[in-house]
Amino acid sequence: MPKNLVIVESPAKAKTVARYLGKDFRVMSSFGHIRDLPKKDIGVNIEKNFEPTYQVPPDKEKIAKELKAAAKGSVVWLASDEDREGEAIAWHVCALLNLSPEKTNRIVFHEITEPAITAAIKAPRNIDRRLVDAQQARRVLDRLVGYELSPVLWKKVRSGLSAGRVQSVAVRLIVEREREIKDFQPESSFKVTAIFDAGGKEVPAELRDKLADDKTAKEFLEALTKASFKVGAVEKKPGSRSPGAPFTTSTLQQEAARRLGFSVRQTMTLAQRLYENGHITYMRTDSVNLAGLAIDAAKKYITDSFGANYAQIRQYKTKSRGAQEAHEAIRPTHIGTLSAGDDSGQKKLYELIWRRSVASQMAPAKIEKTEVQISISTRPEKFIASGEILIFDGFLKVYGGGKDDKILPDLSEGQALKLKAAQALENFSRPPARYSEATLVRKLEELGIGRPSTYAPTISTIQDRGYIEKKDLDGEARRLREIRLEEGIIKEQTQEVISGAERAKLLPTELAEIVNDFLVKYFAAIVDYDFTAKAEEELDDIAEGKRVWQDMLKAFYGFFHPLVEKSAGASRAEAMKVREIGKDPKTGELVQARFGRFGPVLQMGNSSSSGEKDEPKPRFAPLPEGATIESVTLAQALPMFNFPRRVGETTDGKDITADIGPYGPYVKVEKQFISLKDKDPLTISEAEAREVIAAHTRAAANKTIADFGKLKILRGPYGPYVTNGKKNARIPKNTDPEKLAEAEAQKLLDDAPDKPKFLRRGKKS
């Protein structure tokens, strides 16, 4: 039986570590945190100096028993990740196994390779209580906020809501950015470009400053018709582009989003797998430091592959506080391994990490920039022609994405040029950009809010809780005025462009705006950017042994709890943003827009607490598409109370009604609901509704290959399949689905694997 028990936090990591240890070692996983605060209780004794109560969650009881049994008679080695969370996991394992943290072997490694693990076994240390205390402080702090703030939201806004300390600040950033965009007033100007002829070669140029309006732009082009042009100053200067530092957690998330289109959650999941399988170093880090061995390996690879002139060794300096230079940036464990990973996503992310790591040790790219001024005889303004030539590609050899060469013909000062064409095109100033997941990470990092382990769960949580939606925006058509000068003739026209199209941007829901406004009014300090950043600094102080963690919590709770008590006086109507729109001219009843149980709604009539049976109950209706609580008008609201609207009848006399549900507008026939994609439920005619129903019937008939009652054979987006409504089975390609008998279809369904049940790793906070 093995004499040594190594405990890591994930099963995948356990398998990889076990490959490098001998038969005297057994490797097991704690599956994340083996103990945590209880789910149904605050779990913090505030009166006893914020003493936390930890317990083994029900889903961890089995593994807890297995760990206890394996630990008997064994030397225990704690090998969870080297960060605050990993240190706390190791400390909780000690408590579970009744081991002394001061006497138990704690080993850490930044990469899961044989040399790293062997070195760690030779140099064990004790558990770092400062890191444990910092994690406990964060956990208890977030529990206090969530446990006391969430019930306030249940009473004032909607039951089931929750508010987190960092999540609420992230939501505030997105809400405020959306309001900036809504309040933004675009300003028009005209950008002037021209094409000149230099001895048969074209020279594109641009006026340095934009012109204020169409009148000024037209006057400028008219002046060009009588002008001569010549080359003024010609300036050539060398330039360079240097490689970026190796990846930290946040820069990896940002670059994976930009280059690969990965979400923050997807990036961290893939990176976790690469780390656990020994392909990359630890992926939760804010250090840009590289180990000497890694730098030497990169230099050798670069020199052997591209030549000595491509190598330029450098060590980057980590700027963020709390990052430890002993930690490393994210890099491949073996520079010579050009591809790694079990699937395409892992392979793409590994390649990105490999390229960034190698590029960081390569020479800068050398560029020659040229700027030519072109003077106008009739005007003081000057056109600028610019060019850029890549002289030496340097790090771009492996980490490309640079711009193509923009080469200008040889031009000399005083050389005459001929104007071929000029254009003044209207432009509009742009509002601030909406946040993507990557730019939100950058902003949180810039403000000092959160740490590497918090970005992905924070962004996932605010989407999962319905505060934020990730959307693609189609943009709107906008007509731009264009004034062209060609062959001495000025022409004016308009061109239509799509403005404001965006992909995968984060937008706040109305729920987010309501909750944010409530928190800003009654809990301003909790969602204050500086306060939240200061809390992170105080957690760093605890991790460095400069502050006692209970003292931080005491100071926080001293001003937080009175805010909770004060918020009890807030009215529900105020919190729900109840807005009176007007009165129904037919009944005289008050019409309001408010936030209801399932989102924004319209209400006609008042709710009363009198309890009278004959008292009319208020009626509710959805908001019109595109309207908000703040913007909806009485004229828009009144027709919404006509739903459900009777449209007419089918050809066989069944009633057709139109309505709007949680998933949008639809028509209904008996128990059949058919979505309306391009028809207005307020105006759809009987004939149009019949056609929608007929088209739906044809599509459904085409989808069904065979109907055996509960068992059906259907056509799907990935091919034919068998289903009973709960379980699906794909039909093999060499099998004709139209010839399948019921018994054969049932056997395919019986043989199909059940959907896997995923075990969640302990949360990183």
Chain Cα centroid distance, residue 79:
31
CB under 8 Å to 603, separation ≥6 — which residues?
591, 592, 593, 594, 596, 618, 619, 620
Contact 212, 426 (CB under 8 A): no
SS3 label, residue 245: coil
What distance separates the 2 farthest-apart alpha carbons in the chain? Answer: 98
Contact 341, 274 (CB under 8 A): yes
Contact 595, 514 (CB under 8 A): yes
Q: Out of 275, 282, 435, 467, pick the active-site residue.
A: 282
Helices (H), ranges, 499-622: 510-522, 529-543, 549-566, 572-575
With tokens 């369904």, the residue in question is: 749
Rounded distance between C-alpha atoms, residue 355 and residue 301, angstroms: 12
- Going across the sheet that includes 664-669, the strands are 645-649, 655-661, 664-669, 672-675
Closest CA to 409 of 253, 180, 685, 201: 201
Rounded distance between C-alpha atoms, residue 396 and residue 391, angstroms: 12
Catalytic, 467? Answer: no
Rounded distance between C-alpha atoms, residue 298 and residue 341, angstroms: 20
Phi-psi region for residue 327, left (φ > 0), alpha (ψ -120 to 50) or beta?
beta
Query: Distance of CA 56 to CAs 42, 59, 65, 87, 98, Å?
Result: 15, 8, 10, 17, 14
What value, to the nearest 5°, has the Cα angle with vertex 306 and ends 300 and 310?
80
The secondary structure of residue 632, as a DSSP letter, is -
Rounded distance between C-alpha atoms, residue 13 and residue 158, angstroms: 41
Per-residue tokens: 217? 């732009």
Q: Which residues pair with 229 in a beta bridge?
A: 376, 417
Amino acid at position 233, single letter: A
CB under 8 Å to 631, separation ≥6 — which residues?
none
Rounded distance between C-alpha atoms, residue 716 and residue 697, angstroms: 16
Cite the active site residues: 282
